[in-house]
A and B are shown apart, each in its own frame.
Chain A
Amino acid sequence: MGNLELIVEKHSERIHHGLEVLPTLRHGLPAGLGNKRWTAELILATYEMALTGELPKNGLEYKTGDSGGGFDVLGWKNNGFAKIDQNTVDLSIELNKREEGRKIEIPLPIYGGGMSFGSISLNFMLARARAAKKIGTYMSTGEGGYPDAIVPYRDHVITQVATGMFGVREETIQYAPIVEFKYAQGAKPGLGGHLLADKVTSEVAKMRESSMFTSLYSPFPFHSVYSVEDHKKHVDWIKTVNPRALVSVKVSTPTDVDMVAIGSYYAGANIIHIDGGYGGTGAAPEIAKKNIAMPIEYAIPKVHDYLVSEGVRDQVVLIASGGIRTADDIAKVIALGADGCVVATAEAVAVGCTHCGNCERGRGCQVGITTTDPELSQFIDPEWGETRIVNLFTAWSKRLRSILAGFGLESVRDLRGRRDLLVR
Chain B
Amino acid sequence: MDSETAKPSKYERFKIETKPARHVYQIPNKFDVSAKKVRLAAMLVHEAFEYKLNKEVVLSRPCIYGVFGGRFGGFKPLKHKCVGCMRCVQEYPHIMTVKHSDSYKRLGDSFWTPEAVFTIWNEASTGKIPVKGMGYKGAFGGEGFDGIWTDMSEIVRPTRDGVYGREYISTSVDVGRKPTSVDFNKIDRAPSTVEIPVPIIFDKVPVGNGPIRSAVGMAAEKLGTFYISRSRTPFDFGPANLIPIVDEETIQDLVERPAAIVEYDADRADIFEKLRSALPSSIVIARLPLHEDSGTVACKLAREGVHGLHLYADYHGQDYSKQPQHISASLKVVHQQLVKEGLRDQVTIIASGGITLAEHVPKAIICGADLVGIDTTVLVALQAEFKGETRDRTNCQMKPREIDPEWGAQRLVNLMGVWHDQLIEILSAMGMRDVRRLRGDIGRSMMDAELREQSFKGIAWAT
Q: Do A and B make up one complex?
A: yes
Q: Does A370 contact B (CB under 8 A)?
A: yes
> Are A187 and B446 within 8 A (Cβ)?
no
> Are B452 and A298 within 8 A (Cβ)?
yes
Could you tell me the distance in whole angstroms from the C-beta of B230 to the nearest C-beta in chain A? 33
Find residues 118-157 in chain B having any chain A CB closer than 8 Å to their own CB.
119, 129-142, 148-157
Could you tell me the distance in whole angstroms from the C-beta of B211 to the nearest C-beta in chain A? 31
A283→B135 CA distance, assembly (Å):
8
Q: Does B451 contact A (CB under 8 A)?
A: yes
Could you tell me the distance in whole angstroms from the C-beta of B18 to the nearest C-beta in chain A? 16
Could you tell me the distance in whole angstroms from the C-beta of A388 to the nearest C-beta in chain B? 14
Most buried by B among A189, A279, A292: A292
Chain A: number of interface residues, binned into ranges: 35 or more
Could you tell me the distance in whole angstroms from the C-beta of B460 to the nearest C-beta in chain A? 5
Known: A225-B155, A422-B460. 7 other contacts (CB 8 A): A3-B57, A26-B93, A37-B136, A293-B429, A293-B446, A345-B134, A370-B134
How many A-B pairs fall under 8 Å by CB? 297
> Are B139 and A7 within 8 A (Cβ)?
no
Most buried by A among B129, B135, B461: B135
Could you tell me the distance in whole angstroms from the C-beta of A121 to the nearest C-beta in chain B? 13
Q: Does B209 contact A (CB under 8 A)?
A: no
A22→B92 CA distance, assembly (Å):
10
Residues on A with beta carbons closer than 8 Å to the beta carbon of B92: 14, 18
> Digit string of A1-26 for contact with B (CB within 8 Å is 1, else 0)?
00100110011001101110110001
Q: Does A284 contact B (CB under 8 A)?
A: yes
Which of A27, A72, A227, A376 interacts with B156 by CB under 8 Å? A227
Q: With CB as the reference atom, state the residue of chain B lying closest to A249.
A: B154
A226→B139 CA distance, assembly (Å):
34
> Are B137 and A357 within 8 A (Cβ)?
yes
A273→B94 CA distance, assembly (Å):
43
A86→B333 CA distance, assembly (Å):
54
Q: Does B235 contact A (CB under 8 A)?
A: no
**Chain B binder among A54-62, A124-132, A347-355:** A347-355
> Are B429 and A281 within 8 A (Cβ)?
no
Which of B31, B84, B138, B461 interacts with A424 by CB under 8 Å? B461
A239→B461 CA distance, assembly (Å):
46
A96→B112 CA distance, assembly (Å):
49
Residues on B with beta carbons closer than 8 Å to the beta carbon of A356: 83-86, 134
A133→B112 CA distance, assembly (Å):
48
Residues on A with beta carbons closer than 8 Å to the beta carbon of B119: 286
A184→B160 CA distance, assembly (Å):
13
Known contacts: A6-B51, A295-B140. The answer to whether A289 contacts B454 by CB under 8 A is no
| 5 closest residue pairs by CB, A with B | A69-B140, A359-B133, A190-B429, A31-B99, A14-B91
**Chain B binder among A152-160, A309-317, A360-368, A393-401:** A360-368
Residues on A with beta carbons closer than 8 Å to the beta carbon of B65: 361-362, 366
Which of A6, A231, A367 interacts with B155 by CB under 8 Å? A231
> Digit string of A243-269 for contact with B (CB within 8 Å is 1, else 0)?
000000001101110001000000000
**Chain A binder among B303-311, B316-324, B420-428:** B420-428
Q: Does A202 contact B (CB under 8 A)?
A: no
Residues on B with beta carbons closer than 8 Å to the beta carbon of A22: 89-90, 93
> Are B90 and A32 within 8 A (Cβ)?
no
Could you tell me the distance in whole angstroms from the C-beta of B141 to the nearest C-beta in chain A? 5
Known contacts: A35-B137, A370-B134, A423-B459. The answer to whether A11 contacts B428 by CB under 8 A is no
A168→B265 CA distance, assembly (Å):
62
> Are B151 and A370 within 8 A (Cβ)?
no
Most buried by A among B99, B139, B152, B429: B152
B binding-site residues for A, Cβ under 8 Å: 31, 47, 51, 54, 56-57, 60, 62-65, 83-87, 89-94, 97-100, 119, 129-142, 148-158, 160, 162, 164, 358-359, 363, 422, 425-426, 428-431, 443-444, 446, 448, 451-452, 454-462
Question: Binding site of B, secondary structure by majority: helix, strand, loop or mixed?
Answer: loop
> Are B137 and A37 within 8 A (Cβ)?
yes
Q: Does A277 contact B (CB under 8 A)?
A: yes
A227→B56 CA distance, assembly (Å):
60
Q: Does A278 contact B (CB under 8 A)?
A: yes
Q: Does A80 contact B (CB under 8 A)?
A: no
Known contacts: A37-B135, A355-B134. The answer to whether A27 contacts B94 by CB under 8 A is yes
Residues on B with beta carbons closer than 8 Å to the beta carbon of A190: 152-154, 157, 428-431
> Are B140 and A284 within 8 A (Cβ)?
no
> Are A357 and B133 within 8 A (Cβ)?
yes
Residues on A with beta carbons closer than 8 Å to the beta carbon of B60: 7, 10-11
Residues on A with beta carbons closer than 8 Å to the beta carbon of B153: 190, 221, 254
> Are A419 and B459 within 8 A (Cβ)?
yes
Q: Does A67 contact B (CB under 8 A)?
A: yes
A351→B47 CA distance, assembly (Å):
25
Known contacts: A10-B57, A358-B85, A358-B132. The answer to whether A287 contacts B359 by CB under 8 A is yes
> Are A292 and B90 within 8 A (Cβ)?
no
Residues on A with beta carbons closer than 8 Å to the beta carbon of B459: 74, 419-420, 422-424
Known contacts: A226-B155, A287-B359. The answer to whether A32 contacts B86 by CB under 8 A is yes
> Are B462 and A75 within 8 A (Cβ)?
yes
A binding-site residues for B, Cβ under 8 Å: 3, 6-7, 10-11, 14-15, 17-19, 21-22, 26-27, 30-33, 35-38, 67-70, 72-75, 77, 183-184, 187, 189-192, 194, 217, 219-223, 225-227, 230-231, 251-252, 254-256, 260, 277-295, 297-302, 323, 336, 345, 348, 352-363, 366-367, 370, 376, 419-420, 422-424
Residues on A with beta carbons closer than 8 Å to the beta carbon of B90: 14-15, 18-19, 22, 352, 354, 367
Which of A19, A73, A348, A423 interacts with B460 by CB under 8 Å? A423
A70→B90 CA distance, assembly (Å):
30
> Are A217 and B164 within 8 A (Cβ)?
yes
Residues on B with beta carbons closer than 8 Å to the beta carbon of A345: 134-135
A58→B86 CA distance, assembly (Å):
22
Known contacts: A291-B426, A301-B455, A357-B137. The answer to whether A183 contacts B359 by CB under 8 A is no
Known contacts: A220-B160, A354-B85, A424-B462. The answer to whether A291 contacts B133 by CB under 8 A is no
> Are B425 and A360 within 8 A (Cβ)?
no
Q: With CB as the reference atom, state the residue of chain B lying closest to A78.
A: B462
Known contacts: A7-B60, A31-B100. The answer to whether A287 contacts B137 by CB under 8 A is no
> Are A298 and B132 within 8 A (Cβ)?
no
Q: List 22 A-B contacts (CB under 8 A).
A: A10-B51, A15-B91, A18-B89, A21-B93, A37-B136, A37-B137, A38-B137, A190-B431, A191-B162, A221-B154, A222-B155, A284-B132, A285-B130, A290-B136, A292-B150, A299-B455, A301-B457, A345-B134, A354-B86, A367-B87, A419-B456, A420-B460
Could you tell me the distance in whole angstroms from the C-beta of A334 to the nearest C-beta in chain B? 14
Which of A14, A283, A354, A367 interacts with B131 by CB under 8 Å? A283
A324→B418 CA distance, assembly (Å):
31
Most buried by B among A10, A36, A336: A10
> Are B452 and A3 within 8 A (Cβ)?
no
A292→B432 CA distance, assembly (Å):
14
Which of B150, B154, B162 interacts with A183 by CB under 8 Å? B154
Which of B149, B426, B452 interacts with A277 by CB under 8 Å? B149
A297→B428 CA distance, assembly (Å):
24
Residues on A with beta carbons closer than 8 Å to the beta carbon of B443: 255
